[in-house]
């Protein structure tokens, strides 16, 4: 097919094909060895290769990687999934994500979303919407994702498992939406490879099991892009669906607002070009902005055609805008305060807390994805394919605005893999294309499962989980929790109480530690400032019935403060949870004291 690399008479001999596959596998293996050799260039703040591979025996890891690559090439030779590509993407990605459920909540932001969700669970939806941003500490969050978490707690139970099912389902649906978007833009094969290549981003597996907003935001952004394309193409009910998706994306996370600028790009493509998505398909299918001249102007849609696209786009904007306006007016004071705070604190903070593009695109993303995405730019210009602007717009924004924090970049990964898939279509041999896709996935899954996951399981945040599980089995009555901050505490330990609450089904009475707080100038610029401003929820109230005493400290305590020691003398049995990965400054150690039987 025109536009693909023509391997002069693509090899029909199984021996020659096998040789090409072996060379591809060796190239993938060499790529991993280069990443491993230069792993100290990875400055990711959570899953840097210099940390995750610090205790990995390379000679044990390589056989696992080789087995994965062999499995990948078998999938490329026997594509049984082609009859149900969307189902295959959903099930395989959900299963891969479920493996990571054993990781603890390693990012303290989870405490905010748990606290917001628990307010809805206990006091109902009306209270949640009325008090969000007031009695419910909102920080720089938007309410939608916490609302979904609260609904899950209220109707299914306060269990982390239900949250992980929800976030993993959203991750899997993002793969499906990426596939459908690629299919709409170009063809099914481009879409499938794009969706599958999201499994080639190992960083995503560190985020999928967490009670955060990033994976849901990525889903809603992908949903907005796909439904808006369909709304422009077909109108009707898709206009309502696109409006709802746009509303959800806007109230998921503030960083999504800039990313939604891709929707006007989609509109421009439809407005300027004649039937751009009707499937000239793999060869390009569409005019280029760079070639619009008096020779091509007659091909621009008629006034009636342009009016149809304008009507659909304006309809989506007006419907979504009406809902957004109502919500924004209702909470205008909170949102305006948050916007001001984001400008004064978050924006300059990102320059201090950023990570390098080298880390994000060569370690946390498989390098083959990045290289294919770079090549796709050349390929799109060569084909004069304006539809490519839809895929590359968000990645271009990331580069232009130098957004270098992986958690803020991850929402555009579906578009990055769409670019990569577009570039890979230049390869004429379908089996070779599939072998590259599944080889990159196998390599990334090996890194995620056998390097990232063991590292996260050693993270000191696991102490909170194991303590909660122990309390479920060993304690009765209400748990009395003390936190002990110290001069080396970078995080207010009060944030660990909601996380402990997530892991235990016991009621908690929390006695806040007011004995230490960093200087105001340090708090003002701290990336963990919210932990010092977090308010103790009203449901952590005192009670006379106590079954256990829990003391949480940053690192090991040499001695208990006097007021805790006086109370602890009545508790005989002691259990200490003090695992540590030896990397991060925040090391919550948990001491559980139970009364003598």
Residues 112 and 58 in one domain: no
Residues 260 and 376 in one domain: yes
| Residue 102 belongs to some domain of the structure | no
- Domain ends where: 374, 408, 426? 426
Residues 145 and 222 in one domain: yes
Describe the crossing of helices 144-156 and 110-123 by its angle, rounded to 10 degrees.
Answer: 50
**Mean pLDDT over each residue of the chain, to the nearest integer:** 89
Helix, strand, or coil (residue 542): coil
Torsional sign, CA 347, 351, 355, 360: positive
| Residue 99 belongs to some domain of the structure | no
Q: In a structure prediction context, what are the per-residue pLDDT tens digits for the chain, which is 597 residues long?
A: 344 544 444 555 666 677 788 899 999 999 999 999 999 999 999 999 999 999 899 999 999 999 999 999 888 888 888 889 999 999 999 999 999 999 999 999 999 999 999 999 999 999 999 999 999 999 999 999 999 999 999 999 999 999 999 999 999 999 999 999 999 999 999 999 999 999 999 999 999 999 999 999 999 999 999 999 999 999 999 999 999 999 999 999 999 999 999 999 999 998 887 555 544 444 444 444 334 433 333 444 555 667 889 999 999 999 999 999 999 999 999 999 999 988 888 777 666 667 899 999 999 999 999 999 999 999 999 999 999 999 999 999 999 999 888 988 999 999 999 999 999 999 988 889 999 999 999 999 999 999 999 999 999 999 999 999 999 998 888 899 999 988 777 889 999 999 999 999 999 999 877 777 788 888 888 888 999 988 889 899 776 567 899 999 998 888 888 888 888 888 888 899 999 988 988 899 999 999 876
Residues 312 and 357 in one domain: yes
Interior CA angle at 474 toward 472 and 475, to 5°? 75
CA 82 to chain centre: 27
Burial class (CB in 10 A: 0-12, 13-18, 19+), 249: buried
Residues 200 and 318 in one domain: yes
Asked if 118 and 501 count as a contact pair (C-beta separation under 8 A), the reply is yes
pLDDT at 569: 84
| Residue 344 belongs to some domain of the structure | yes
Residues 411 and 333 in one domain: yes
| Residue 282 belongs to some domain of the structure | no
| Residue 101 belongs to some domain of the structure | no
pTM, two decimal places: 0.92
Cα(174)–Cα(597) distance, integer angstroms: 51
- CB count, 10 Å around CB of 281? 16
Residues 224 and 90 in one domain: yes
pLDDT at 10: 55
Residues 241 and 364 in one domain: yes
Residues 486 and 388 in one domain: no
Cα(328)–Cα(334) distance, integer angstroms: 9
pLDDT at 349: 67
The torsion angles phi and psi of 428, rounded to 5 degrees, stand at -75, -35
**Tally of domains within the chain:** 3
Asked if 220 and 256 count as a contact pair (C-beta separation under 8 A), the reply is yes
Residues 492 and 532 in one domain: yes
| Residue 245 belongs to some domain of the structure | yes
- Domain ends where: 406, 426, 446? 426
Task: Tell me how far CA of residue 85 lies from CA of 81, 175, 195, in angstroms.
Answer: 6, 10, 10
Question: Domain span at residue 209?
Answer: 79-94+107-276+291-426
Cα(422)–Cα(16) distance, integer angstroms: 26
| Residue 393 belongs to some domain of the structure | yes
| Residue 450 belongs to some domain of the structure | yes
Residues 354 and 297 in one domain: yes
Q: How far apart are the first and last CA of the chain?
A: 77
Pairing of strands 571-577, 508-511: unpaired
Residues 409 and 499 in one domain: no
Task: Tell me how far CA of residue 566 lies from CA of 48, 508, 563, 571, in angstroms.
Answer: 43, 20, 5, 10
């Amino acid at each position: 097919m025109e536009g693909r690399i023509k391997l002069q008479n693509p090899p029909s001999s199984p021996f020659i094909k096998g040789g090409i596959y072996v060379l591809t596998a060796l190239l993938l293996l060499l790529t991993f060895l280069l990443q491993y050799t230069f792993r100290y260039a990875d400055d990711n703040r959570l899953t840097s290769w210099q940390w995750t591979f610090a205790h990995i025996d390379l000679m044990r890891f390589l056989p696992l990687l080789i087995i994965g690559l062999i499995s990948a090439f078998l999938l490329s030779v026997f594509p049984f999934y082609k009859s149900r590509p969307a189902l295959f993407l959903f099930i395989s990605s959900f299963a891969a994500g479920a493996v990571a459920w054993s990781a603890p909540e390693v990012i303290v932001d989870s405490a905010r979303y748990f606290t917001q969700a628990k307010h809805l669970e206990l006091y109902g939806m009306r209270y949640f919407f009325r008090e969000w941003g007031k009695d419910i500490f909102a920080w720089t969050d938007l309410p939608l994702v916490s609302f979904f978490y609260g609904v899950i707690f209220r109707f299914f139970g306060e269990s982390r498992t239900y949250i992980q099912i929800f976030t993993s389902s959203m991750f899997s649906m993002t793969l499906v939406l990426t596939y459908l978007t690629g299919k709409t833009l170009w063809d099914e094969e481009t879409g499938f490879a794009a969706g599958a290549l999201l499994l080639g981003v190992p960083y995503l597996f560190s985020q999928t099991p967490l009670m955060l907003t990033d994976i849901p935001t990525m889903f809603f952004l992908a949903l907005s892009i796909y439904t808006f394309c369909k709304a422009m193409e077909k109108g009707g009910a898709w206009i309502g669906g696109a409006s709802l998706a746009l509303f959800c994306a806007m109230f998921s996370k503030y960083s999504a607002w800039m990313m939604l600028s891709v929707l006007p790009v989609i509109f421009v493509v439809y407005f300027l070009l004649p039937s751009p998505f009707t499937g000239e398909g793999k060869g390009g299918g569409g005019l280029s902005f760079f070639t619009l001249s008096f020779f091509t102007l007659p091909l621009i849609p008629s006034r009636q055609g342009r009016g149809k696209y304008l009507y659909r786009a304006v309809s989506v904007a007006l419907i979504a805008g009406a809902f957004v306006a109502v919500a924004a007016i209702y909470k205008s004071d909170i949102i305006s305060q948050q916007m001001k705070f984001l400008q004064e604190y978050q924006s300059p903070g990102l320059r201090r807390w950023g990570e390098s593009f080298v880390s994000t695109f060569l370690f946390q993303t498989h390098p083959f994805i990045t290289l294919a995405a770079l090549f796709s730019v050349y390929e799109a210009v060569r084909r004069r394919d304006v539809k490519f602007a839809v895929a590359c717009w968000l990645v271009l924004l990331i580069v232009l605005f130098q957004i270098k924090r992986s958690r803020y970049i991850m929402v555009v990964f579906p578009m990055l893999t769409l670019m990569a898939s577009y570039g890979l279509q230049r390869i004429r041999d379908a089996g070779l294309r599939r072998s590259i896709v599944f080889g990159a996935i196998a390599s990334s899954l090996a890194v995620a499962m056998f390097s990232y996951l063991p590292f996260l399981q050693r993270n000191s945040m696991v102490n909170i989980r194991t303590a909660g599980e122990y309390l479920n089995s060993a304690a009765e009555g209400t748990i009395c929790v003390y936190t002990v901050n110290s001069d080396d505490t970078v995080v207010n330990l009060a944030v660990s109480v909601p996380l402990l609450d997530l892991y235990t089904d016991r009621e908690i009475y929390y006695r806040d530690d007011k004995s230490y707080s960093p200087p105001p100038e340090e708090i003002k610029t701290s990336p963990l400032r919210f932990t010092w401003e977090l308010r103790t929820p009203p449901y952590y109230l005192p009670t006379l019935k106590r079954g256990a005493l829990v003391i949480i400290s940053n690192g090991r305590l040499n001695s208990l403060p006097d007021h805790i020691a006086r109370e602890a003398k009545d508790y005989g049995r002691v259990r200490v949870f003090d695992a540590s990965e030896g990397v991060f400054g925040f090391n919550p150690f948990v001491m559980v004291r139970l009364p003598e039987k």
